[in-house]
Chains A and B, each alone.
Chain A
Amino acid sequence: MTGVRIWDGPSLPARVTANALNRRSFLRVGAAALGGMAALAAALSPLRELGSDQVPNLEQFLQKHYKQMTPAELEEALERIRAKVEKRFEVRPHLRDLKPMEGVEFGYALNLSRCIGCRKCVHACVAENNQSRTPEIQYIRVIEMPRGTLDVEQGTHHYDRPLVPDAEHFYLPVQCHQCANPPCVKVCPVEATWQEKDGVTVIDYDWCIGCRYCEAACPYWARRFNFAQPKLPKDQLNPNMSYLSNRPREMGVVEKCHFCLHRTREGRMPACAEVCPTGARKFGNLLDPHSEVSEILRTKRIFILKEEVGTLPRFFYYFDERYPNSLDPEAIAIADDLRAKEGAAYGCLPGSNGPDTEIIAAVTPQWWDGRTA
């Protein structure tokens, strides 16, 4: 039988395989091996720039899933995160793990007749939730919609007019709808994201593997991924944080709106609702018949976005029947006021010189001033 032509080299194989490695072939093999090692080392060299906090230490590596941690282990994890934050931001954070409250299911209602598109909620959310500033990650997207449609594809995302609200448009803010049937939870391969008893879908940032399947699954484009190392200036850290909400994230994990659960589980309003200058945003307990949201659900003609995808959002929209053809005049007056006061910063695009600092003042809890304590 004849041999395999190409792979049966005429001279080298015989010599190598005869176990008679003479000096020449030894040198040759050695040189090849050395060259290979050098090339590999060169290829791996970018790893030298890996920051020490980018490589998980053993404890972080072994940290369990949020739901599997015993209270003691959770406390250890919290302490670890506190230390890390303190090292990075030189602030001792007020970090804890807030559990859902009994008999509470959160819901949101948004009055589209009052939203003036000023994007204060967008900026307040960024300030409150310690998102990366460069690149800036935002949970809320306000879409400028032509009147007469609810098809978001006809909306404008990057409107940048100091004249909002425009009379021909209405403004549709979208954030995580905290679906009762959330596809994002269904698809996560490692259960890094789940729905809590109070209806908030949360993420264990220490468990997410960054596959972004949830991002593909969410019909409301509510999820954001940390494509780069999140950058947050030291003086912009909000030290009031909890494990499942706004503690600083790392690169490579997914995040999204969590209804400010570090506030709301203590009975306060989410930052976006608190900052909204027109009161378009109403937040509360759906299980409490006397809450404002329950009242709105009972009395207004509410609707949800993309009802056909079956996600059962806890985020409701409505128009005020009193003003079928325009925004609420009261809201327009507020907008006029703000425009006069804020000038160029008013209604600006996210990421541009927004009124971030002012917003921080507006949403910052009292003890913020004692931040170095």
Chain B
Amino acid sequence: MKNYLRFLSRCFRLSFVGDARYYAWMFLLTSVVLLGVNAYCKQLVAGLATTGMTDQVSWGFYIANFTFLVGMAAAAVMLVIPVYIYRNRELHDLVIFGELFAVAAIIMAMLFVSVDLGRPDRFHHLMLRFNFPSSMLTWDVVALNGYLLLNLHICGYLIYCAYMRRAPSKIFYIPFVFVAIAWAISIHTVTAFLYSGLGGRPFWNSAVIAPRFLASAFAAGPAFLVLTLSALKAFTTYQVSAKAFMTLRNIITVALTINMFLLAAEAFTEFYTDSAHGASARYLFLGLHGRTALVPWIWSAIALNLVAMVLLYTPLSRRVAILQFACVLLIVGIWIEKGMGLIVPAFIPTPLGEIVEYLPTRNETFVTLGIWALGLLIYTILVRITVPVLSGRLVFDRSFASATAEHHPQP
């Protein structure tokens, strides 16, 4: 226990230690977080009227980002499966980075739901009268919190074992890993059901929503990991093998292809049938009655995804720089597709046929950026702690200073 507390306090101290670039990055993130806090305080005072949302489009940017992040969190599992089921050693350590990202992503997702609440002061009502199992939102609360705990346990345990120079005992984490795999799929499925279960919103009321969610998540999540690993490779001496990148590339390629296929299937059904139910899809892709706010968004998302897909399929993306580029395109593409392309159009036109368009306001954007910055801040700290532990320089029987400075001779 004493050792554990000492471990935590060392981790805490470690997160404040780094070189100029580290400080600059953390300073930048902290500033954006504070901007977000400021914007959220304004929202608390003046209400959600500070956002672009209306009774017509009653969910917007916040819920869109929430949806996207749930997917990113779920995607950590795509690394776990090859490692534990197919015993792919290449990715072994990388799993931890994936799961750490899941932790950060879940925290961000939960924050996005929280800032979307009109009465955050009544959060505890959720504990007092929990409409389970009727409301899918309560399922989501269970799923997200469970997933957060699972991942915290798995990474925490593995990192702590590395710190204590102990071989992790299988019974303490392997079962949890398998539960986490199933759970990861469930968080995204439950989130999809949140939307697809609403009969009054034909745009969402489709069985393909859940598979589409999974496919896009399994592309965007590993893509984000490619970027993380690239950063690790560039800024630390942490070893990332080329093979790991290529495994991720394969996963991303397959997932993105499936995602595009499902999108096409969805579009076909809507447009070929051409029933009145397709109004939202028409609004999204072509515009309705001269209102076209979402059209540029969805087409740029499709373009980004297509370019990324072409790059991934050609040998070009064997070069890590190209792979990174494709990953950035695809993350942005999927972010748009999930956000502006999936959440917002379901509200346009309204069930009574009114067309009111939606654009996030500045304040709303600041809150959003603030949460993203906080998530990245958390992730940076988690990675910052993990790297020296995994590479064996922060261990319990060495002094703290040795973890940070042993190889730098004192002046």
Contact = CB atoms under 8 A, between A and B. Distances in A.
Given A43-B38, A209-B123, A1 B137 contact: no
A326 to B, nearest CB: 24
Most chain A Cβ neighbours within 10 Å, of B128, B130, B352: B352
Contact of A189 (B42, B44, B130, B353): B130
Nearest to B54: A227
Interface in A35-68: 36, 39-40, 42-47, 49-50, 54-56, 61, 64-65, 68
B137 to A, nearest CB: 4
Contacts of B16: 16
Contacts of B131: 188-191
B7 interface: no
Interface stretch (A120-128, A151-159, A257-265, A266-274): A151-159
A18 B402 CA distance: 10
A260 B16 CA distance: 60
Contacts of B387: 4, 7
Nearest to A172: B352
A46 B391 contact: no
B296 interface: no
A6 B18 contact: yes
Given A152-B353, A212-B59, A1 B391 contact: yes
Interface in B7-55: 13, 16-22, 30-31, 34-35, 37-38, 41-42, 44-49, 51, 53-55
Contact of A141 (B129, B134, B136, B352): B352
Interface in B105-140: 113, 116-123, 125-126, 128-131, 134-138
A14 B201 CA distance: 60
A215 interface: yes
A319 interface: no
Interface in A291-309: 306, 309
Contacts of A226: 47, 118
A207 B135 contact: no
A208 B119 contact: yes
Given A6-B18, A253-B118, A43 B41 contact: yes
Nearest to B20: A9
A155 B276 CA distance: 13
Interface string A209-245: 1111101111111011111110000000000000000
A8 interface: yes
Nearest to B205: A309
B273 interface: no
Interface in B329-379: 346-347, 349-354
B118 A8 contact: no
A1 B395 CA distance: 14
A372 interface: no
B47 A9 contact: no
A115 interface: no
A222 B387 CA distance: 53
A357 to B, nearest CB: 25
A252 interface: yes
Contacts of B51: 227
A4 B129 contact: no
A313 B371 CA distance: 41
Contacts of B126: 189-190, 209
Nearest to A211: B117
Contacts of A143: 352-353
B188 interface: no
A352 interface: no
Most chain A Cβ neighbours within 10 Å, of B236, B349, B406: B236
Contacts of A11: 411
A306 B201 CA distance: 12
B17 A252 contact: no
B408 A225 contact: no
A306 B198 CA distance: 14
Nearest to B197: A187
A155 to B, nearest CB: 6
B136 A7 contact: no
Contacts of B137: 187, 189, 211, 213
Nearest to A60: B121
30 contacts: A3-B406, A6-B19, A7-B18, A8-B17, A43-B35, A44-B41, A46-B41, A65-B125, A68-B129, A135-B49, A143-B353, A152-B352, A190-B125, A190-B126, A207-B125, A208-B118, A208-B119, A209-B117, A212-B58, A213-B135, A215-B58, A216-B59, A216-B346, A221-B352, A225-B118, A226-B118, A227-B48, A227-B49, A252-B118, A309-B199
Interface of A: 1-14, 16-18, 36, 39-40, 42-47, 49-50, 54-56, 61, 64-65, 68, 135, 141, 143, 151-155, 157, 174, 183, 186-192, 207-213, 215-221, 223-229, 251-254, 306, 309-311
Given A135-B49, A187-B136, A225-B55, 5 more contacts: A2-B237, A7-B19, A9-B22, A17-B404, A50-B45
